[in-house]
Each structure stands twice: as C-alpha cells, then as structure tokens.
Chains A and B, each alone.
Chain A
Amino acid sequence: MNKSPMISITDVTYEYTNVDDTDLIALDHVDLTIKKGEHLVIIGHNGSGKSTLAKQMNALLLPSSGVVKVADMDTRDPALLWSIRQTAGMVFQNPDNQIVATIVEEDVAFGPENLGIEPTEIMNRVTASLERVDMLQYRHKAPHLLSGGQKQRIAIAGVIAMKPDCIIFDEPTAMLDPSGRKEVINAMKLLNREEGITVVHITHFMEEAVGAHRVAVMEDGRLVMVGTPREVFTRVDELKKLGLDVPQMTELASELRKEGIDIPADVLTVEEMVTHLCQLKLMD
C-alpha cells in the first residue's frame, strides 16, 4: 500500500487582487496533511479562507507560494491537472449551480464522459453511483423538480462516477433544510466508511463535525486549531471568541465544569452526557 498522504499542503500562501486593486491574503502559510481514508472537517466563519483552501485541493486555485500535492501529484503541473481533478472530486454549496444536464442520469454521466470512458462502463458507473446515494429511482427525472438534498446527492453521484479517491465538500449543506442536511451528511459518511473515500468537509455547522476523525479551524487565512473533535471542541472559550458555535453538550459540560462538577470536558453527544451524569449520580 502506498503510504503517501492523500493531500499534502505545505507552507501554502494564496494572494489575490480585489476589485479595488488591494492585495488580499486568503491563505497565510498553511500546512495540512490529509491521510488516506480520513474524514476531515474544516470550520471557520465566512471569509476565513476555508473555501479557498478547498479549491487548492483540486487545482481550481493554485498556490502563490508553497506546494499542494494530491496523491503525490503537484497541482502546479499542468500535465497532471485532469488526473488531479479525477482523484479529488468536489461538491459545491449551491445545488442548482453544479448540475449541468436536464436529466439526472445524464448529469451523473457528465464527469465520466469528460474522462473519455466507454459508454457501457459509463452506464454501469451511473447506475452504481445513483444507487450509492439512494437516488436510482430518480434517474430519469429532471433535476429542477428535486429537493435541495436530492440535488446535492445527484452532485455527489456525479463525483463518485468519476471514481475519485477523495471528495472535497465545500459547504454542501449551507443552503439545505435540516432533512436535506441529514441526507447529505449520511451519504458523505457512508462513502467514507464503506468506500474508503477520503472526505474533506467544509462547513460552519459544528454538529456536522462531531463524527469526523479530525477538525481543523481556520481564521484569517491561517489554521488555528487542528485535532480530534474532542480536542478541538473542548476549547469552548477560544471557539466562541472566534465567533464559532460549540456543540450544545460540550458547552453544557464546560458550564458544569465551571461550577466545579467533575465531568469530562470533551462530551460531544447527548448519550455521553447522560452516561456521565448518571455515573456522577451513582458515585454519590
């Protein structure tokens, strides 16, 4: 097995010129390594640079300085562009603005068609991909008649039909209602767990980060925290200072600790909280 990382970002800075001719630094010396099979969540508020970072991961943007490698392929090498984008697929925020075709299955076929794959193989991949996101029964439907969550699942199917090793989700749930959000998150988790696809998930919904392997927090173009969800969310006060939310259970745990209650700081879910509170009760 190849032990090299899925994506390695080394000392990457990205500058761009704004409409009024001012130079802005969107990424400021960022270092991040994403392992194969990992589920990484990147949080940060709007303008923190998280979307810019995401677009570096499949050569939609190129670093001003530093190196981004996707499966050992340098994103600055134009000859590797298409294999990089095939390896690292991307799902975007607005479900309407990433569907190309007027029929679901035609849209899922769009990526493989671009890769020049044989028609019968495309057909197989389209069927398998739609099945994976549980949208097979909609294959002949027009995308504009689907719900937001369903459209995003079509977009995901379109990416997995290209057989990527990694999928970057750039705020895929920001425009969805709670049930749509759940659909997308479930599809994402399934791909990570069962297909071993590396998932990079950019979001500002903290609840969505709870199940991830690692969480990275961005602020002003820099990575300010990287760690397991437990490690990151226990830093309740710092997160709040950054204007970010903390899962309610973690916040409650933090409040209880301030009152001198002996409860771990890294409680994330309701179940954990119940367990700890019951133990406290038993110990008395």
Chain B
Amino acid sequence: MSIKIDGLTHTYNPGSPFETHALKNVTMEIESGEFIGLIGHTGSGKSTLIQHLNGLLKATSGSIWINSVEITKPGVKLKDIRKKVGLVFQYPEYQLFEETIEKDIAFGPTNLGLKEEEVRQRVKEAMEMVKLPYDELKDRSPFDLSGGQRRRVAIAGVLAMQPDILILDEPTASLDPRGRDEILEQIKLLHQQKKMTVILVSHSMEDIGRLVNRIIVMHQGTIAFSGTPREIFSQAEELESIGLGVPQISHLMKAMNRNGCQLPEDVFTVEEAKTIIMDYLRGKHHA
C-alpha cells in the first residue's frame, strides 16, 4: 500500500490572529512495505502530517493518494481510509474505555461493520501480535494492567482493524527501556511478517536508526531531509542546526575523524562501531 502526497498544505485557524502554517507544500512518496522513521521536534508538523493520512484533518490545499485512491477528494468515504491506514496516537492507553480488553480491541473492527465471529478472530490475532495472551486477559479490565501492557492493548485496538499502513506517534513515550524494547520489537515483526507499511514517529535517533529503512526529517512544516539512516546521520551538523541530534556513536565517529582518523561516519549502532574500531586498532597493529 503506497502513499503519495502532493503539495500538501495545512493552515490552522486561517484568517485569525492564531493562524499557523503547520504544513507548507509537502510532497513525498512512500512505497508499499517501507519502514519510515519520521523525526522532527515538537511543532515541526509531523503530527499534523500523519493526521492527514487517515483523513482526521482536511488539507488546506494539496492532495494525498493512498494506493492510487485520492483521499483528499470530496466525497471519499473516510471509513474506507481508516480501514487501510491505522493510526496509533501518543499515549494511546488514554483512549481505552471498555470494561474488558476484548471489548475494547473489538471497538474498531465492530465499527467497520464486521460480523461478530470475524471480530473475535481479529481481536485474538491482534492480541497475539502484541504478545498479550488472549484467553488469560480477554475478560480482564484494561485498567488493571500495567502502563506498558495497556499501551499494547491500545495498539492491538488499531491492529484489529487490519490496516495495510500503520502509523505510530511516539509509541514508546514514557515507557521504561524494557517496555520500549518490547514494543519496538513487535512493530519490527509486524513490518517483517505482515508486510505492513510502517511510519514511526519518534524522538529517539537510536531507536529510529536501528529499525527503519528510511528517515524523513521535518522542520517548520516542510521536509528537510529524506534518506536512509546512514545518509541522514552522516549529516550531523545539518541535523544539529535544526535542533536534532544524532546517535552518540555517530558523534564518536565524527570526533575521531576530527582527531585525524578516517573512519566512516555513517555508523550508528554499538555493534558496527565495535567492528570498525577493532579494524581500525588492528589495522594500526599491522601498519
């Protein structure tokens, strides 16, 4: 399922003293099956952008195609878009409302008008995807769970709609490292096994770096950079000039090179850095 955005502009409160241009003429394409990392600091327009992708916000101008259907055209059925594009908001656990976990996850698929049997099947699958045991938890209240588990219930609520495109807005905010790693691991599997197109909004360069195949950097309502993590992280100065950082490992490589080394700068995981430094030190031994 591919996404094409052409000249997308969004202005909040047009004509009032509070007028803000959240998106300015954004054009981009996302191929089916891509894993995109969307970064940019607060107010850069990324939240506004993702809300357009399933029709929650209406474009001031410009158009969006989801798999060759133009969703910005008047008269498009929003339900059909929301079936295809799943959006998980920040702190999604705050949207839970049902007495049982099963009922809560069933909310989305039921709204799609599916039959009861189909709904139950989807709830079951969605819970499996986020590693929540169905039989054990289905009748429990979502409010009895820990914060990390509640968040997984909320994510399952979107997965049960079986979207082809999954967008997650900072799914790991406020979680501890263990909760964060669990959720990121599950997202990775969804991408690999279910072949979902995933857009992950995050502030963590480390997380983005090790997961996605393309990074899109937003700044002041426009797309500032787009490229593989390697391409993006080798531009440390440019990123820092717009208030974003690069992973510490990338910093290390730059710092080494300032000290006269010639190491590759497009490195961002501890694993890679280890190999490179070992080679570098050994190379020195042999030289």
Contact = CB atoms under 8 A, between A and B. Distances in A.
B256 A274 contact: yes
B270 A274 contact: no
Interface in B233-287: 243-245, 247-249, 251-252, 255-256, 259, 270-271, 273-274, 277-278, 281, 284-285
Contacts of A277: 256, 277, 281
Contacts of A20: 144
Nearest to A239: B177
Contacts of B179: 45-46
B206 interface: yes
Contact of B177 (A175, A243, A270, A273): A243
A117 to B, nearest CB: 35
A119 interface: no
A177 B203 contact: yes
B247 A46 contact: no
Contacts of B173: 174-175
A255 B200 CA distance: 29
Contacts of A264: none
Contact of B270 (A179, A206, A255, A284): A255
Interface string A244-263: 11011101100110010100
Nearest to B255: A274
A251 B249 CA distance: 11
Interface in A167-219: 174-175, 177-180, 204, 206
Contact of B174 (A19, A174, A271): A174
B146 interface: yes
A180 to B, nearest CB: 8
B243 A248 contact: no
A284 B284 contact: yes
A247 B247 CA distance: 11
A271 B271 CA distance: 19
Interface string B198-242: 000001001000000000000000000000000000000000000
Sort chain B's interface into a size bin. 35 or more
Nearest to B43: A147
A32 interface: no
A277 B249 CA distance: 14
A271 B270 contact: no
B205 to A, nearest CB: 9
A169 to B, nearest CB: 15
B178 interface: yes
A281 interface: yes
Given A46-B147, A46-B148, A274-B256, A280 B174 contact: no
Q: Is the interface of B mostly helix, strand, loop or mixed?
A: helix
Contact of A177 (B41, B146, B252): B41
Contacts of B281: 261, 277, 280-281
Contacts of B57: none
A66 interface: no
Contact of A271 (B206, B255, B274, B284): B255
B56 interface: no
A245 to B, nearest CB: 5
Contacts of B42: 147-148, 177, 179-180
A284 B146 contact: no
Contacts of A204: 176-177
A93 B175 CA distance: 13
Contacts of A273: 252, 255
Interface of B: 41-42, 144, 146-148, 173-179, 181, 203, 206, 243-245, 247-249, 251-252, 255-256, 259, 270-271, 273-274, 277-278, 281, 284-285
28 contacts: A45-B179, A46-B147, A46-B175, A46-B179, A147-B42, A174-B174, A177-B203, A178-B244, A179-B42, A243-B176, A248-B247, A248-B248, A249-B252, A251-B270, A252-B249, A252-B270, A256-B278, A261-B277, A261-B278, A270-B248, A270-B252, A273-B255, A274-B259, A277-B256, A278-B256, A278-B259, A281-B284, A284-B285
Given A45-B179, A46-B148, A46-B176, 20 more contacts: A46-B147, A46-B175, A148-B42, A175-B174, A178-B41, A179-B41, A179-B42, A244-B176, A248-B206, A252-B249, A252-B252, A252-B277, A255-B270, A256-B274, A261-B278, A261-B281, A273-B252, A274-B255, A277-B277, A284-B285
